[in-house]
Each structure stands twice: as C-alpha cells, then as structure tokens.
C-alpha cells in the first residue's frame, strides 16, 4: 500500500499535523483503553476476567508493559509495512500513539530513565537492513525527550526464528538470550520492542539488565499480540 505524504496510513484520508487522521487515531486509543479485560501488567487483551497466560505461566521480571495498539487487523498491517516494507516514516507515528497512551495513563513526563531497544538477531538485521525496535526507540526518545542507549544490551547468536515458535517454545529459547556489556548502576530503564508476543523476550532482556545493576525495568512496544495469535 502506497501512502502519500499527508494521508492517513490506515484509511488514506488527507490529514494534517498528526500522522493518523483523527478518527483512526481515536479508534486506536479507544481500543487500548476500553477493552473489557486487559492484563494491568503486560497489556494483554484477554477474552474474560481469568488469569493472564503470560503472567501466570511464568515469573516475569519486567515491571509494566505498555503498547501503542493490539496486533490485530488492520493495525497488524502497519507493523508489517514498517518492518518488512521499510516504511520507516511510520516510526514517528507509532511514537506519537504510544506517547498518547502514556499521557492518558498520567505517566508523563518520564524522568531519570533511559530507553534500551531490544537488539535484533544477526539474521533479521541482514534481511531488513535495520532494527525495527531501535528505530522506534530513537523516535520515541525524541518524542519523550529521553536518552536512548543502543549499545548496552546485546543478543547471543541464535538460529531459531522466534516468530516460527509456539508460545512455550518462545519462553524456552529466550532464556539467557541477552547480556549487558557493562555495569549499569541506574535506578530505572525502559526496554523498547516492536511486537510483544509472550513477554519472554522482554523477560530475558530484563534479567540481563537487572544482573547488570538496573533496579527496575519496564517496557514499551508498538504492538501487543492477542492470546489467540498462534
């Protein structure tokens, strides 16, 4: 889908100022704020008031996870166009949506913290030519006026593609996947990812940051997959 400058990437209508038209912008925010059942910790949209599968089936070390929108149609197409279609101009739009989410929750301004993007695998970096999480973190840092630390968190080489694995397999393979290159004596850090599916990636990265000296780790993401994504 070709999106001309000044047009909403979802509906194609002409819009000025913001990247999304007012109707699409409001629809996205409404979905995130008004879903009847959503995990308060990891942002997962739930079918009922039962336990969250991602929080109840594993001992998460990550604090709070907040996403700009759910990874559902037609919003999932935006992420695919960004990651696979190299539509990098969507990154500022995602940052604007997430900033609005934080504002509605009364969490802005954020102070005494930094953004740390989830490192991409060697294979994905070679295939895409960029790290979607890092590009998004850079735009988010500009929007939130926070520093972005690109070179403190690293990823061990892994040949299994996370998107090809089941929910339980993701948790098993993500354990010990990340490490820090130096000591981080900071009170708070915020991990930044593109898509959160089981929180296993975030949890592994959080463990690495905590081991390096960070006292608390929260997370921000572009999209949160529903529990029936697999």
Query: Does residue 95 lie in a domain region?
Result: yes
- State pLDDT tens for residues 42-74: 999 999 998 999 998 888 999 999 999 999 988
d(CA 46, CA 68): 17
Q: Rounded to whole angstroms, what are the CA distances from 97 to 12, 101, 195?
A: 18, 6, 15
For residue 203, give its domain range: 40-224
* Rounded CA separation 98/223 (Å): 10
User: Is 15 part of a structural domain of the chain?
Assistant: no
Q: Is residue 7 part of a domain?
A: no
Measure Cα distances from 30 to 16, 33, 93 in Å.
Answer: 21, 5, 17
Do the domain assignments include residue 35? no
Nearest to 119 by CA among 129, 133, 138: 133
Residue 126 sits in a domain of what CATH number? 3.40.50
The 10 Å Cβ neighbour count of residue 172 is 11
Residues 176-213: tens digit of each pLDDT: 899 998 999 999 999 999 999 999 999 999 999 999 99
Q: Which helix (H) or strand (E) holds 155?
A: strand 153-155
Do the domain assignments include residue 17? no
Q: Is 153 among the domain residues?
A: yes
Number of domains making up the chain: 1
Which has the minimum average pLDDT: 1-10, 40-49, 88-97?
1-10
0.75 exceeded by pTM: yes
**Stretch (H or E) spanning 191:** strand 188-196
Residue 162 forms part of a structural domain? yes
């Amino acid at each position: 889908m070709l999106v001309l400058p000044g047009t909403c990437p979802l509906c194609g209508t002409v819009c000025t100022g913001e990247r999304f038209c007012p109707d699409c912008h409001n629809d996205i925010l409404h979905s995130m704020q008004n879903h009847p059942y959503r995990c308060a910790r990891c942002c997962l949209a739930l079918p009922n008031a039962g336990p969250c599968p991602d929080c109840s089936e594993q001992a998460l070390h990550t604090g709070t996870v907040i996403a700009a929108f759910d990874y559902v149609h037609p919003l999932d197409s935006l992420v695919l166009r960004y990651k696979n279609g190299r539509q990098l101009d969507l990154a500022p739009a995602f940052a604007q949506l997430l900033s609005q989410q934080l504002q509605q929750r009364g969490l802005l301004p954020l102070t005494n913290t930094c953004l740390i993007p989830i490192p991409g695998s060697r294979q994905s970096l070679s295939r895409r030519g960029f790290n979607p999480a890092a590009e998004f973190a850079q735009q988010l840092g500009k929007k939130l006026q926070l520093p972005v630390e690109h070179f403190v968190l690293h990823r061990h080489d892994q040949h299994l593609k996370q998107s090809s694995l089941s929910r339980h397999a993701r948790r098993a393979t993500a354990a010990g996947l990340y490490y820090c290159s130096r000591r981080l004596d900071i009170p708070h850090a915020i991990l930044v990812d593109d898509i959160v599916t089981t929180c296993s990636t975030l949890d592994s990265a959080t463990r690495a940051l905590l081991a390096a000296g960070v006292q608390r780790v929260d997370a921000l993401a572009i999209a949160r997959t529903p529990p029936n994504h697999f």
